Amino acid sequence: NPPKIWFFQENYRNTKQIARLGLAISRTPFFKGVADLVEPHSPRADGPLPTLVKSNDINEETELTLENAVAMGRTQFVGLLNRNRDMDKYFLKVIKRRDESLKVDRLHRDMKKWSSGPGVFIGTYHAAKSLEFDAVILPYCNDDVLPDQSRIVALGSQQEAESEEARLLYVAVTRAKARLIITYSGKLTRLLPYEPSLYQEEKA
């Protein structure tokens, strides 16, 4: 089932730039039938635009993800969030190898201890629900990855799968308090609104 999303008029988590992207996602056709988000009234901190980075290929994108996670994780509480768990073990192993002093862990439902100090937490969009991070990295936001093809098959409906995936992507984006980095190679997922004013665009 798609995640249940609570929409508040008071938003204390995100900067206005990240909140604006979340609002734009909620206004895409994939959210049809979901209660409209009301733009929060609370004054929020200003911050950088979400960074949208296009890589030449998946290997370059993976390397960029690792570099950002290690560098940011030394001073910030970072969520490295993926659509599924395919890359979890790889990211855990390589990040630990690159900086043994860095706190690195995997998000899962049975976590008994939680610390919000500097470090990198790796997991799925769904596993990050109800959590918040100083910074969030969302790799592989490619159109052939999102929506997840296995969900289209499982649900037997592309429209239903796109709606479910868009809500998960909304959850992932809005986990970020101050910094959000979205990467892709090839074609950007159709689930993200492409409005240049929403992003700081870069090339790897």
pLDDT of residue 96: 94
As a whole number of angstroms, the distance between CA 201 and CA 179 comes to 14
Reported as a pLDDT band with limits 50, 70 and 90, residue 129 is confident
For range 75-98, the mean pLDDT: 93
Nearest to 5 by CA among 26, 20, 30, 19: 26
pLDDT tens for residues 4-32? 444 444 455 789 999 999 999 988 998 87
According to CATH, the superfamily of the domain at 16-109+116-203 is P-loop containing nucleotide triphosphate hydrolases (3.40.50.300)
Six token digits for residue 162: 């796109």
- What is the structure's pLDDT at 65? 97
Q: What is the pLDDT of residue 9?
A: 45
